[in-house]
Amino acid sequence: MNSILITGATGFVGSKLIMLLSRKDWDICLAIRKSLPQLTFDTFDVTPVLIKNIDSCTDWQQSLNGIDSVIHLAARVHIWHEDTLDSEAEFLKVNFEGTANLVKQSIQAGVKHFMFISSIGAMATLSDHPLTETSPCQPDTPYGRSKLQAEQALIELASQSSMTWTILRPTLVYGSGNPGNMERLIKLINRGLPLPFGLVNNRRSLLYVGNLVDAIATCLTHPNAKNQTFLVSDGQDLSTPELIGKIAYHLERPCHLLPVPPSLLKLAGHLGDTIEQFTQRPLPLNTSTIDRLLGSLVVDSSHIRNTLNWQPPYTVDEGLSKTLR
Give catalytic residues, as residue numbers: 143
Residue type, 258: L
Q: Write the CB contacts of 191 (distance below 8 Å, at least 6 apart in sequence).
A: none
